[in-house]
């Protein structure tokens, strides 16, 4: 996208000196200061926009920034904040607990009036006329959307290198990827460009970039939150997730956007989760059973990753958790199963991008020629590869052998989790086998890239929730992320365990120097 950035006028930026402290605040800290009237939303939003201006040339986390609109909304939020303060009701307990908080949204979710490219040339210039339900819910809770973040094209990838608009750089080392596909959102949070952001997770796209960037990220239970306004990739796998600096921050965002949506028939009719995590001293993990699945500690995993994960598990034991060895025997099939099911669903979902309904059109001699040329020119290599793979797996004669078989094995993977959750309350394992890799490292080897997803895919296939958070750094100073997975609809357990760990450690407070 050309003209990605915006021209923020200098006179709106009187807060330059305050900027570093404002942009290093966590979401919950900002909430408290806004509540007390010690900072205004306008100051907070201005500081974020200034930070984007200063750093995003280097990071490229954003595809679009809505500066003027965000500032206008911040002024309105400040008025409401002072009204709410007048009532004496704590803002966190009001209907607008996130009033005045700036956030960024991955560019596969629609926000009315803001371009939505999905990181693809085939949607260049497309401006959706409606807002995704999850974003609407956040806005109703008081969130100010400051812009849209970079993503692998149609969320297909593990590094943001598949974005048609260029890679996002990892704030810990700009020669490395931030992970993907929600790499823009993860990088924006750890660099302090926004206190929190939305991403999506079809096979790991929230948890893996959270791990590579050293932030906390939730992939909720499938069906926990609405997909209305999320451009579909793998419809039976896609989930909207969130990033923040801590379990407490992410829980606050998740609480505001989850819940049943009449516009998405796959959302479940369960009460919406409302999770608040206190700031009291170290909470105990007594009575909680954490499983360590042996299939997630395999040959090829970076030794420092394994070391940090084992140390974090030990810390949880010190906090009172009971640690048990468990087995998820079908784990090794998750990768081939996912790379049949996800491309199969993608091949159907992406059929709508034909140059007629949305975005640009390449002219041709006939209708078929228009489809052929538009799709041929505007889709990137990875998306084209997946459409071809998926179409093949669904074609007559191959459907039973590939897609049908993959669905059967998917059921076995789901059963593994059901079994294990009779024995334990959560399982703990690495998010990814390595820390952030160098830009270009897997450039000509899609299979090496797919292997990065080996530990995140099972949760999507089983539909269970997963939470990623930092538990240390490797020798190169890159964050290592732990993944906790839990029972369907038991995100609260994952947040509780991560919160207790974060109360006792400070890995989540480490920030890159930029």
What does the binding site for ligand GLN look like in residue numbers (CB under 6 A)? 155-158, 181, 201-205, 233, 342, 453
Catalytic: which of 181, 225, 255, 283?
Answer: 181
Residue closer to ligand GLN by CB (options 172, 233) is: 233
| Nearest distance in Å: CB 118, ligand GLN | 11
Residue closer to ligand GLN by CB (options 30, 151) is: 151
**Catalytic-residue membership of 92:** no
Residue closer to ligand GLN by CB (options 157, 359) is: 157
Query: Is the distance from CB of 19 to CB of 51 less than 8 angstroms?
Result: yes
Pick from 392, 367, 364: which is nearest to 377 by CA? 364
| Nearest distance in Å: CB 155, ligand GLN | 4
| Nearest distance in Å: CB 185, ligand GLN | 12
Catalytic: which of 26, 30, 182, 205?
Answer: 205
Residue closer to ligand GLN by CB (options 115, 203) is: 203
C-alpha separations of 192 from 54, 378, 458 in Å: 11, 33, 31
| Nearest distance in Å: CB 308, ligand GLN | 22
Query: Is the distance from CB of 231 to CB of 108 less than 8 angstroms?
Result: yes
| Nearest distance in Å: CB 199, ligand GLN | 9
Query: Is the distance from CB of 489 to CB of 166 less than 8 angstroms?
Result: no
Query: Is the distance from CB of 151 to CB of 109 less than 8 angstroms?
Result: no
Residue 513, class by beta-carbon neighbours within 10 Å (0-12 exposed, 13-18 middle, 19+ buried)?
exposed
Pick from 425, 511, 407: which is nearest to 462 by CA? 407
**Catalytic-residue membership of 159:** no
- Length in residues, the chain: 514
Beta-strand pair 216-219/239-244: antiparallel
Catalytic: which of 30, 106, 211, 219?
Answer: 106
**Catalytic-residue membership of 225:** no
Residue closer to ligand GLN by CB (options 44, 454) is: 454
Residue 259, class by beta-carbon neighbours within 10 Å (0-12 exposed, 13-18 middle, 19+ buried)?
buried
C-alpha separations of 277 from 371, 394, 504 in Å: 51, 45, 14
Query: Is the distance from CB of 186 to CB of 210 less than 8 angstroms?
Result: yes
Q: Residue 285, Cα to own-chain centre: how many angstroms?
A: 26
Residue closer to ligand GLN by CB (options 92, 391) is: 391
| Nearest distance in Å: CB 429, ligand GLN | 17
Secondary structure letter of residue 489 according to DSSP? T
Residue 400, class by beta-carbon neighbours within 10 Å (0-12 exposed, 13-18 middle, 19+ buried)?
exposed
The catalytic site residues sit at 106, 181, 205
């Amino acid at each position: 996208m050309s003209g990605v950035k915006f021209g923020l006028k200098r006179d709106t930026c009187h807060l330059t000196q305050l900027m570093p402290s404002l942009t290093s605040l966590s979401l919950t800290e900002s909430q408290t200061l806004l509540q007390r009237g010690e900072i205004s939303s306008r100051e907070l939003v201005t500081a974020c926009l200034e930070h984007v201006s200063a750093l995003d040339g280097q990071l490229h986390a954003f595809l679009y920034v809505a500066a003027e609109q965000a500032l206008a909304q911040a002024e309105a939020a400040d008025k409401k904040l002072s009204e709410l303060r007048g009532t004496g009701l704590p803002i966190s307990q009001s209907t607008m607990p996130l009033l005045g908080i700036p956030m960024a949204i991955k560019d596969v979710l629609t926000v009315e009036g803001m371009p939505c490219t999905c990181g693809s040339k085939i949607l260049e210039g497309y401006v959706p006329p409606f807002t995704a339900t999850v974003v609407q819910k956040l806005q109703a809770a008081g969130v100010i959307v400051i812009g849209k973040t970079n993503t692998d094209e149609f969320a297909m990838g593990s590094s943001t290198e598949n974005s048609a608009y260029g890679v996002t750089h990892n704030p810990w080392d700009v020669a490395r990827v931030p992970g993907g596909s929600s790499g823009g959102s993860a990088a924006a949070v750890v660099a302090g460009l926004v206190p929190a952001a939305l991403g999506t997770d079809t096979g790991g796209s929230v948890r893996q970039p959270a791990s590579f960037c050293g932030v906390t990220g939730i992939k909720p239970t499938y069906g926990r939150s609405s997909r209305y306004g999320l451009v579909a990739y793998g419809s039976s796998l896609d989930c909207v997730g969130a990033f923040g600096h801590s379990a407490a921050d992410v829980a606050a965002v998740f609480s505001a956007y989850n819940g049943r949506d009449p516009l998405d028939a796959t959302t479940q009719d369960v009460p919406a989760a409302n999770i608040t995590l206190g700031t009291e001293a170290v909470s105990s993990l007594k009575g909680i059973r954490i499983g360590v699945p042996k299939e997630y500690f395999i040959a090829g995993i970076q030794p420092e990753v394994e070391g940090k994960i084992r140390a974090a598990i030990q810390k949880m034991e010190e906090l009172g958790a009971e640690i048990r060895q468990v087995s998820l025997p079908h784990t090794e099939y998750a990768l081939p199963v996912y790379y049949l099911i996800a491309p199969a669903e993608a091949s159907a979902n992406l059929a709508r991008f034909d140059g007629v309904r949305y975005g640009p059109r390449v002219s041709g001699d006939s209708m078929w020629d228009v489809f052929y040329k538009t799709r041929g020119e505007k889709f990137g290599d990875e998306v084209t590869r997946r459409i071809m793979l998926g179409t093949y797996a669904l074609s007559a004669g191959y459907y039973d052998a590939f897609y049908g078989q993959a669905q059967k094995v998917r059921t076995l993977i789901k059963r593994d989790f059901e079994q294990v959750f009779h024995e334990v309350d959560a399982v703990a394992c690495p998010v990814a086998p390595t820390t952030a890799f160098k830009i270009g490292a897997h450039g000509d080897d899609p299979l090496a890239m797919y292997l990065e997803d080996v530990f995140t895919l099972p949760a999507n296939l089983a539909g269970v929730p997963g939470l990623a958070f930092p538990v240390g750094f490797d020798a190169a100073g890159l964050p290592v992320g732990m993944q906790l997975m839990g029972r369907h609809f038991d995100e609260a357990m994952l947040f509780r365990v991560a919160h207790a760990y974060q109360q006792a450690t400070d890995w989540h407070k480490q920030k890159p120097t930029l």
